[in-house]
Amino acid sequence: MTPSGPARDELAARLRLIVITDRDLARPREVTEVVGEALRAGAPAIQLREKTLPPRDTLPLARRLRADTRAAGALFFVNDRPDLALAVGADGVHLGPDDLPVAAARRIAPPPFLIGYSTDDPDAARAAVADGAHYIGCGAVFPTSTKSDAGRAVGLRGLARVVAAVDAPVVAIGGIDAARAPGVFRVGAGCAAVSAVMAAADPGRAVHSILRAAAEG
Amino acid sequence: MTPSGPARDELAARLRLIVITDRDLARPREVTEVVGEALRAGAPAIQLREKTLPPRDTLPLARRLRADTRAAGALFFVNDRPDLALAVGADGVHLGPDDLPVAAARRIAPPPFLIGYSTDDPDAARAAVADGAHYIGCGAVFPTSTKSDAGRAVGLRGLARVVAAVDAPVVAIGGIDAARAPGVFRVGAGCAAVSAVMAAADPGRAVHSILRAAAEG
């Protein structure tokens, strides 16, 4: 199920940075405004992560971000909900351990719909890829305050173990910013940024800094 | 989008009783045990309503209920989550005002997948049917303790207004038991039962009583 060769490499290139939304961190700005700045700065992928709004109210936001990412040529993922992702024509969904399992999501959402799965465990990563996951979100790599249930940080060493375990792209999450991005890229992973972009005074500049580290990696 | 003629009548006949699960009310029995007794008594439709378990843990229960309902020739619905419903091959999903809108669910789940929608408002019922809902869940018809957000009870008069508003089958919910079922059937609606079956000492007998009222209606 894993994309291989050029398709895998192209996906990995686009997953060198996923900007993940957070309405609280974006305040007083709207999420769409911060995402807009990130897209103009070249962010190649956006993930809508909305933990408090009910699905009915998340839908209009998801539609707007789908339109904006499409216009910018960026990938668009929705967190947790394959149905919401499919309803807005997202490129994929990002699933965690409590969500619908990868294999179940795969059954209702055939390729080219992409599935990401969160784990810091090499064996679980291998199993997820075997079940149809296209990429792994690994974290928390560094300590983070944006996800209270993220557990202890696994560090670049833990990240490297997951990268080594799977052929699919791995995206590091948890405390990622421009200063830590070079270490992440050296390990062969991409970066998922939440507060580094959503809470930034200049989100475009934050995106530029991380992408520059990727280009120099 | 509404089924009409024989298809509509067949659906209405099968929706004369939907047994809705509740793990707390079923205790100390398992939900599967209570549903099993309801199915053996001839319950023509089951809805899995699970508000606390994460999707990963709901999935095995949904799979089991799908298998049991299929074996019994009963319809199987999953509450709230079109993705979970599709993943287990359910006959349909039941959506409420906070869930993914009917039109969005319709896009990801084409017929014959069924969509129910909860409302006690005739105009909202018409709109839901126009968007692709196959039946309306109307309630609370009577005061109920199983749904804290159900608002005031609309009574048989309010139920009749929704029945009059749409050609699709309407299923009454909220405080429905064998004593109240005859009134519901006289208005032309079906019955959705939660505590009357899930908390019953003899769930099969509770199902029999409601189905007898339907047959006599």
Averaged pLDDT for residues A87-106: 97
List the structure tokens of A190.
């991409």
Tokens at A202, concatenated: 């200049």
Peptide bond before residue A140 is cis, with ω within 30 degrees of 0: yes
A59 contacts B99? CB cut-off 8 A: no
pLDDT band at B5 (very low <50, low <70, confident <90, very high): confident
Is the distance from CB of B17 to CB of B210 less than 8 angstroms? Answer: yes
Confidence of residue A111 (pLDDT cuts 50, 70, 90): confident
Share of chain A above pLDDT 90, in %: 89
Q: Please give the backbone phi and psi of residue B159, each rounded to the nearest 5 degrees, phi first.
A: -60, -45
Residue A29 has phi, psi (to 5 degrees) of -80, 155
Q: Where are the beta strands (DSSP E) in chain B?
A: 17-20, 45-48, 75-79, 92-95, 114-118, 135-139, 170-173, 190-193
Partners of residue B82 in chain A, C-beta under 8 Å: 83
The 10s digit of each residue's pLDDT in B165-216 is: 999 999 999 999 999 999 999 999 999 999 999 999 999 999 999 999 998 8
Best A57, A59, A83 member to test B by mutation, with max B CBs in 10 Å, is: A83
| Cα separation, A146 vs A163, whole angstroms | 23
What tokens were used for B179?
């004593």
Instruction: Specify the 3-state DSSP secondary structure of A6.
Output: helix
B59 vs A83: CB contact, 8 Å cut-off?
no
Q: Is the ipTM of this complex over 0.85?
A: yes
Residue type, A32: T
CB A31 within 8 A of CB A23: yes
Give residue A2's pLDDT: 54
pLDDT at B6 (0 to 100): 79
A39-94 pLDDT per residue, tens: 999 999 999 999 999 999 999 999 999 999 999 999 999 999 999 999 999 999 99
Considering CB atoms only, which of B59, B98, B104 is closest to A87? Answer: B104
CA distance A95 to A115: 7
In this prediction, residues B64-93 reach a mean pLDDT of 98
**CA dist B6 to B2, B11, B135, B185, Å?**
12, 8, 15, 19
Once rounded to an integer, what is the mean pLDDT over residues B131-155?
85
Residue B3 is predicted with a pLDDT of 59
Catalytic-residue membership of A147: yes
CB–CB contact B87 A100 (8 Å): yes
Please answer yes or no on whether B83 and A108 come within 8 Å at the CB atom. yes
- For residue B98, the chain A residues in CB contact (below 8 A) are 54-57
Backbone angles phi, psi at B201, to 5 degrees: -60, -35
Q: Name the average pLDDT for chain B.
A: 94
Among the listed residues A46, A150, A153, A102, the one whose alpha carbon sits nearest the alpha carbon of residue B83: A102
pLDDT at A147: 62
In this prediction, residue B8 carries a pLDDT of: 87
A56, A86, A97 member nearest B99 (Cβ):
A56
pTM attached to this predicted model: 0.94
- Cα separation, B101 vs B130, whole angstroms: 12
Q: How far is A129 from chain B (nearest CA, A)?
A: 17
Is 60 exceeded by the pLDDT of residue B150?
no
DSSP tag of A73 = T
pLDDT tier at B1, thresholds 50, 70, 90: very low
User: Which member of A14, A16, A49, A161 is catalytic?
Assistant: A49
Strand, coil or helix: what is B175?
coil
Residues of chain A with C-beta less than 8 angstroms from the C-beta of B104: 59, 83-84, 87-88
Does B113 score more than 60 pLDDT?
yes
Average pLDDT over residues A132-153: 84
Whether residue A195 lies in the annotated active site = no
Reading the block at residue A122, the tokens are: 């090499």
Residue B216 CB partners (closer than 8 Å, separation 6+): B182
Read off the DSSP letter of residue A176.
Answer: -
What residues of B are in contact with residue A100 (Cβ under 8 Å)? 55-56, 59, 83-84, 87
Digit-coded pLDDT (tens) for B39-60: 999 999 999 999 999 999 999 9
Higher pLDDT residue, B106 or B148?
Answer: B106
Nearest by CB to B59, from A83, A88, A104: name it: A104
CB contacts, 8 Å: B86 with chain A = 83, 107-108
Determine the number of helices (DSSP H) and then strands (DSSP E) in chain B.
11, 8
Residue B77 near residue B18 (C-beta atoms within 8 A): yes
Q: Which of A14, A66, A106, A118 is catalytic?
A: A118
Q: What is the pLDDT of residue A1?
A: 47
State yes or no: is A56 an active-site residue.
no
Helices B31-40 and B203-216: crossing angle in degrees, nearest 10, is 40
Given this model, what pLDDT does residue B90 score?
98
* Contact call for residues A81 and B83 (beta carbons, < 8 A): yes
